[in-house]
């Protein structure tokens, strides 16, 4: 039962991490296509390491789910932590570049 909970939490964290990385890549691509988009591209380049680390930690947590109960607890902590950090970073980026509408 603990393993199933760990897998669900880790997959949610991995999804949040991938969403953050994907959003940064799309934002960077759009900024490169526009004149004057260099500040946004610079911001994206500065945030890519955070996205990479959160994806890496989430993948490590996914590997941990194949261990015993102690590894499942570590996976839950790592998956929830990486997902939380990625979600906060994604919300911060979205808020910074939100267009009126």
pLDDT for the residue 73 = 96
Confidence of residue 97 (pLDDT cuts 50, 70, 90): confident
Q: Is 101 part of a structural domain of the chain?
A: no
Distance CA 63, CA 92 (A): 29
> What are the pLDDT digits (tens) for 57-93?
999 999 999 989 999 999 999 999 999 999 999 999 9
Q: How many domains does the chain have?
A: 1
Query: Containing domain of residue 91, as a range?
Result: 2-95
Q: What pTM was computed for the model?
A: 0.90
> What are the pLDDT digits (tens) for 31-50?
999 999 899 999 999 999 99
Q: Is 100 part of a structural domain of the chain?
A: no
Q: Is 13 part of a structural domain of the chain?
A: yes
CA 1 to mean position of chain CA atoms: 26
Q: Are the C-beta atoms of residues 75 and 10 closer than 8 Å to each other?
A: yes
CA-to-CA separations, 85 to 69, 88, 98, in angstroms, rounded: 24, 5, 20
């Amino acid at each position: 039962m603990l393993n199933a909970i760990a897998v669900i939490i880790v997959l949610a964290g991995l999804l949040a991490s991938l969403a953050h990385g994907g959003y940064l890549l799309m934002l960077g691509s759009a900024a490169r296509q526009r004149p004057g988009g260099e500040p946004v591209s610079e911001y994206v380049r500065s945030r890519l390491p955070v996205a990479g680390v959160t994806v890496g930690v989430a993948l490590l947590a996914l590997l941990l789910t194949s261990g015993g109960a102690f590894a499942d607890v570590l996976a839950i902590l790592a998956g929830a932590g990486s997902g939380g950090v990625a979600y906060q970073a994604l919300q911060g980026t979205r808020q910074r570049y939100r267009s009126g509408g």
